[in-house]
Structure 1
Amino acid sequence: MDPTGFMGRSHDKHQLLKPILRAYAIGYLSSTAPRFISSLRQVWRKDLNYQQNRKVLLRALTSTIRLESFSTFCAALVGGSTVFPLVIFRLRELVSHRLGIKPSISESAKFLRLVRFTCAFLSAWLSFELLNRKSVRLQGDDAKSPDNASNWVAKTQQGSKDKEQIRPQFAGRTMDLTLFSLTRAVDLAACIIWARWRRWRRARGCWSMAENLAPALADSGVFAVSAAIVMWAWIYLPERLPKSYERWIGEVAKVDSRLVETLRQARRGVFVYGKDTGEARLLQSMCNDYGWPVEWGDPSKTIPIPCEVVHMSCGPSCEKHAVSRFAQTFKFTCATYLPLQMAFRIRRLNSVSSLRRAISDALRSSAFLASFVGIFYYSICLARTRLGPKVFSRDVVTPMMWDSGLCIGAGCLMCGWSILVESPSKRRELALFVAPRAAATVLPRFYNKQYQYRERIAFAISTAILLTCLQEQPSLVRGVFGRVATSVLK
């Protein structure tokens, strides 16, 4: 007896291969598409002949077809977690039939669940090695950064007292993937706990309005905290962010790099109010470019730096600057989101309602991101010059304390709450998207390979939980990832 219909759906051999082929296709597309787009740009920018263009594009399409590729990893992971449970369950059924044992439906369901989790764990454990067969080679600043690598170690050779500095092997190639799986598994566990709590409370008639609002506020809170961590890293620890992510934030923020560098110098104690440390040249060059008094850029003469410097070319009004930032970002993001929404709904744009929905979603997402930027800058101004000095005297919180981190902290803490502009479903997606990236800024991106077993355990357990739940109760895995993964495992 098969309590889940698992056996009945899988007798066809072609049915067994479908999840594996789907997983391979998704892995191949997700890893090849960025390379192919980059190659198209290369072909477009450079004047190459036909053979050279063909070689560049062919390399982009075939470079991911190898054993240690992401597509092979996806196929092995899904194959191991779907095919092996079927084989084991079938063997148990045959043995039980030979022995004349008829297990109950509940026993079969529990056995199948255990088998699925075990096979998913082993598949994740073994597939992890596919992506980590080669050690990470650090180059440039990554090799010197204490956040990304361990210190060099001393080694005695052949009894000699001379110690040779050698670089250990590093790992971390799959850190983003591990954090993604771990974040999703934690979200799944939270959903299961919350569902049980809700049933228990409603059965006793104790369900409150606050508990009804809690899930939406939890998603918003996760996003706000994660966004605060990412924005703090973007200002003070940019090396902890992926280059593409850092570049995209810079394009949206549109801030003079000299101002950002001055904030970093203030954080490091190099740019100090009331002292001539020789680091006034950055802001003074800004003053020359924007037509301000040169004294504004000198921390020994101007305390604190006027907010107009933060506003750049927008004038002295903090409110006008916030509105201007909102308008600029809204225009920038509309140019991106409107075409994307149209492309996603191209098959359904044959009706007025579909067109209206696409435009509405694009405008709402643009308003969210514009609010994010506007609130970030306005909160900085409120903290450093408008409200902060009125709430706390200069003896308690000095201008140097505001500009060396507190004002940026205020902007980071407040900007993420702009997520409330978005719909509840988008809040959930954005929270689950940003949370792993925030975790990646806290943890070292690269680490000594001798500790890789910790990442491997975290990845295997979290992935096993996700894959088991996707086969048992797919509705509990939220968002686009849950829908895509469920369709792959069908």
Structure 2
Amino acid sequence: MSPTAAFESPSRVALRTYVLGLSFSAVPALLPLIAAYVTAKSSKDAQNRRTKLVAVLRREFGPSGFAFAMAAAAGGGRLLDHLWHQYSRKGKEKKHPIVESRVDEEVTHDTDGWVNTFICNLVSTSLAISLLHSKAGRVRTNTATPFTPPLNPSRGTGRSPTLDLTLLFLVRALDGALHGALVPKKLDDTSSRSESGLAKRKRLFERISKIDALVFWAASARIMWCYFYEPHRLPRTYVKWISSLASIDPRILEALRAIRSRTWLYGKRSTAHPTLLTSLSSDLGYPSQWGDPTKLPKYGGAAATMTWKSLGLTSRNGLGGIPCEVVHGGVGGDSCLANSGIRGFNAFCKALLIYLPVHLLPALLVRPTVIISDPFHIIGPLLRSSSFLATFVSTIWFFVCFTRTLCLARILPFISHNFWDGPFGCTFAGSMLCGASIFLEQGRRRAEMGLYVLPRAVRTLLSDHWVRKGGLSVRITERLTFILSLAYLLTISVHSPGRLRGLSRWTLAFIMKGPKAGFWYRRRQEKHVEAPS
């Protein structure tokens, strides 16, 4: 029997899935509530937080929770597949008792084995989505981390609480299908050690790595543009995560959106936002006139210099628009390079905390001794990933200033700053070019980053009216996508795990094989391969 298709105990599969699901959903949801309960200042406040904590515990550990639903999908599919396998085996034994010893091999390797597994997983994933939707109104948004299942609140709207989770499964399933089509099975077999095979595999994966980088580039450009102008198309927790990483004042974001909607324009009094930037300018210690659109020059040139002289500003001669001191939010003063550098350094420090569990947890679960024997194996990729995210943030800030201050607006002073500060000006340049930072990442990490941002980019392309309406067509489409995508992932994790990549490959390997996919099994394989003949 093929080791990739060997039947693992359904109860063990379900148990591992349940425990892993709790770590993905319950832990991020419970930690903030526990911290809030411990730090409660009054008995009434503690009682309210205790009530919320109990509600979350019931939801996460109940049958409608993420962990139980995923356990039903993975464990239920294995159980049905096991029963089907036993039924098929008994039928063949009755017809062909001579070939009894080859039954397992036949059932495993033929096409019927793959189809049977897929059908069983269709049934179990149908049960899973029904469980998740059974108490949809009680689903609460979790923190946005690489390990958190993207579940959304559905109170007050018709939006499905599992939309982001469905898109995540869809993208991972499509990646598995494309990877299987692009990579020949003989090249994807890691047990192949021939020199020519390894060389071909290396060249092929270098090309795939470039495709992954382009996918991330395009997806991140769309996400960042929507963050500036249409944040409702993104998960709310994801928007908060980006805001905390970029440390941008929300009034700057409101001003950008107001310029796009033409309710805040240079040279005109804004009735909708009369104190939007004047308050920000005052809070930063600058004259309130630096945020008044009726006082700020619309175009560059000599006239703009005279205006700035009357406003007491000398750092923006020949330019129009909002002063960089206000745009920077007090970071770096009037120096665009200092602002970009400081923002990048702050993002690097935050990224260290974000990526530490990403790089440390797999090592702890798979090869714990490498942390002591070769710490640079963890530290090197950690610093590289943090540098990538820091460069991503600083690149946005730099090209915003490059467009509206350092270069383009200086070369073309006759173009209005309603354009330079509009949706196809400085923010467009920053959004388009920040994704190039992905080339700082390792090839295998590019794939994971691309698969992480792509579901969110796909979500922004969906009709917001159609999604919010939550009609019958939305429910049917989303549920079918969820069922087919997750069933396909569970099926290939058994019959063709080489098609999976990144976190999905590690997660499903752990669920389906347990310790066999971990450190001891891998070390035995390496010893067997490296042993002299």
Task: Give the TM-score taking structure 1 as reference length.
Answer: 0.81
Residue pair 1:169, 1:449 contacting (<8 A) in 2 also: no
Given candidates 491, 497, 500, the residue that maps to 1:477 is 500
Deviations 1:190-219 (A, max 9, x none): 2112114997xxx9xx98998663211112
Tell me: CA distance 1:112–1:431, structure 2 relative to 1, closer, same or farther (3 Å): same
Residue pair 2:37, 2:50 contacting (<8 A) in 1 also: no
CA–CA distance in structure 1, aligned partners of residues 42 and 281 of structure 2: 44
Given candidates 249, 260, 263, the residue that maps to 1:267 is 260
CA–CA distance in structure 2, aligned partners of residues 7 and 185 of structure 1: 19
Establish whether residue 448 from structure 1 lines up as the match of residue 444 from structure 2. Answer: no
Residue 351 (structure 1) shift: 3.0
Residue 409 (structure 1) shift: 1.3
- 1:58-207 to structure 2, matched below 5 A, reads 60-100=56-96, 109-134=110-135, 136=137, 170-196=158-184
CA–CA distance in structure 1, aligned partners of residues 358 and 204 of structure 2: 35
Identity %: 29
Q: What SS does structure 1 have at the residue aligned with 2:60?
A: coil
Tell me: CA distance 1:276–1:63, structure 2 relative to 1, closer, same or farther (3 Å): closer
Residue pair 1:135, 1:170 contacting (<8 A) in 2 also: no
Residue pair 1:136, 1:172 contacting (<8 A) in 2 also: no
Tell me: CA distance 1:128–1:382, structure 2 relative to 1, closer, same or farther (3 Å): same
Which residue pairs with 2:246 in the alignment?
A: 253
Which residue pairs with 1:435 in the alignment?
A: 454
Given candidates 407, 411, 416, the residue that maps to 2:435 is 416
Residue pair 2:10, 2:76 contacting (<8 A) in 1 also: no
CA–CA distance in structure 1, aligned partners of residues 407 and 186 of structure 2: 41
Residue 453 (structure 1) shift: 0.8
Which residue pairs with 1:382 in the alignment?
A: 402
Amino acid at match of 2:372: S
CA–CA distance in structure 2, aligned partners of residues 254 and 6 of structure 1: 47
Which residue pairs with 1:227 in the alignment?
A: 220
Amino acid at match of 2:88: R
CA RMSD of aligned residues (A): 3.8
- 1:350-361 to structure 2, matched below 5 A, reads 351=372, 353-354=374-375, 356-361=376-381
CA–CA distance in structure 1, aligned partners of residues 106 and 500 of structure 2: 23
Residue 169 (structure 1) shift: 8.5
Given candidates 319, 323, 326, the residue that maps to 1:306 is 323
Tell me: CA distance 1:75–1:340, structure 2 relative to 1, closer, same or farther (3 Å): closer
Identify which of structures 1 and 2 has the higher relative contact order when contacts are C-alpha pairs closer than 8 Å and 6+ apart.
1
Q: Which moved more, 1:444-453 or 1:336-345?
A: 336-345
Q: What SS does structure 2 have at the residue aligned with 1:276?
A: coil
Residue pair 1:223, 1:427 contacting (<8 A) in 2 also: yes
Q: What SS does structure 1 have at the residue aligned with 2:134?
A: coil
**What 5-or-longer segments of structure 1 have no aligned partner?**
140-147, 150-166
Q: Which moved more, 1:83-92 or 1:344-353?
A: 344-353
Tell me: CA distance 1:293–1:59, structure 2 relative to 1, closer, same or farther (3 Å): closer
Which residue pairs with 2:31 in the alignment?
A: 37
Residue 293 (structure 1) shift: 4.6
Amino acid at match of 1:126: L
CA–CA distance in structure 2, aligned partners of residues 283 and 79 of structure 1: 56
Tell me: CA distance 1:48–1:348, structure 2 relative to 1, closer, same or farther (3 Å): farther
Amino acid at match of 1:174: T
Residue pair 1:121, 1:461 contacting (<8 A) in 2 also: yes
Residue pair 1:171, 1:449 contacting (<8 A) in 2 also: no
Q: Which moved more, 1:435-444 or 1:73-82?
A: 435-444
Residue pair 1:120, 1:467 contacting (<8 A) in 2 also: yes
Amino acid at match of 1:182: L
Residue 294 (structure 1) shift: 4.0
Deviations 1:315-359 (A, max 9, x none): 3332232222222322343465568867776754773632x3433
CA–CA distance in structure 1, aligned partners of residues 184 and 357 of structure 2: 42
Given candidates 338, 342, 349, the residue that maps to 1:320 is 338
Given candidates 344, 349, 352, the residue that maps to 1:331 is 349
Task: Give the TM-score taking structure 2 as reference length.
Answer: 0.75
- 1:282-293 to structure 2, matched below 5 A, reads 282-293=276-287
Q: How many residues align?
A: 454
Q: What SS does structure 2 have at the residue aligned with 1:327?
A: helix
Deviations 1:51-76 (A, max 9, x none): 96987766554442323222221122
Tell me: CA distance 1:385–1:41, structure 2 relative to 1, closer, same or farther (3 Å): same
CA–CA distance in structure 2, aligned partners of residues 341 and 211 of structure 1: 25
Residue pair 2:229, 2:423 contacting (<8 A) in 1 also: no
